[in-house]
Amino acid sequence: MTADDERELLAVAREAAETAADELRRRYGGRASGVRSKSGPTDLVSDADLAAESAIRSVLAKRRPGDAILGEEGGETGEGEFRWVVDPLDGTINYLYRIPAFAVSIACESASGVLAGVVLDPIAGERFEATRSGDPTLNGEPIRADGRAESLDFAMVATGFNYDAAVRARQAEVMPRLLPRIRDIRRVGAAALDLCWCACGRYDAYFERGLNPWDVAAGSLIASRAGLEVRDLPVREGEPPGTVAAPASWIDELLGLILG
């Protein structure tokens, strides 16, 4: 696949993300409807999630009818060489609580990995993008993880917590090891934004367990193209797999604290 092919896929992802963002903005701040639980009482989905994913699927049906889609709400449909990995509303709880930190995340992948990805923040009007062979951008301007923290000691680290209470308890055990060794912790509640904020230097690193492919497909590509190392967190007893993104110079040190 050529760089031009990747940019064509990126243009489709951009169009689909902007269509979904229109749906989210139209409903944001109003009375939430169709709210129900998914994996547990704190894991929610709303009509806004469903409307945004429907909008994305409509764009992809017109622009890429032969491709497969893996969506958070609609599951996997279709077959083809390419698959679109879609989170129509990353940060649903923030959205429902009217906290303006949520995003649309869309990536296109093949058997060789993620080819293009877009993460769009509808409220801030920030659109993060990357292709496998191109520079990452924010609203069309190149971005780079700026290496503000030259060591773990000065790192601003983002994380997130699982919906399952037992997993949260295990995740809490990491904090006494980590907090004395870094500048501080942030928890915003939208994995795609966390990865993109690392990519543009707002955070220095990010880790989280219990993520799904649609949470990280686009954001991981953007972070890696911005110069960060992105690795998998291994499964451990009582803890699901996860993702960590950090500068190559101290990611092993961070992993050591996370894994204990």
Contact criterion met (CB below 8 Å) for 132 and 6: yes
Mean pLDDT for the chain? 94
Query: Which pLDDT value is given to residue 44?
Result: 65
Domains and CATH numbers, the chain: 3-142 (3.30.540.10), 152-259 (3.40.190.80)
pLDDT at residue number 58? 98
Closest of 252, 241, 245 to residue 167, by C-alpha: 241
Asked if residue 45 has pLDDT above 80, the reply is no
DSSP line for 100-112: S--EEEEEEEETT
Tokens representing 85 are 């990995």
196, 223 in Cβ contact below 8 A?
yes
pLDDT at 236: 86
Region for 36 from its dihedrals, namely left if φ exceeds 0, alpha if ψ lies in -120 to 50, beta otherwise: beta
Does position 38 have pLDDT exceeding 90, yes or no?
A: no
Q: Are 67 and 56 in contact (CB under 8 A)?
A: no
Q: Give me the pLDDT at residue 32, please.
A: 67
The confidence score (pLDDT) of residue 41 equals: 67
pTM: 0.95
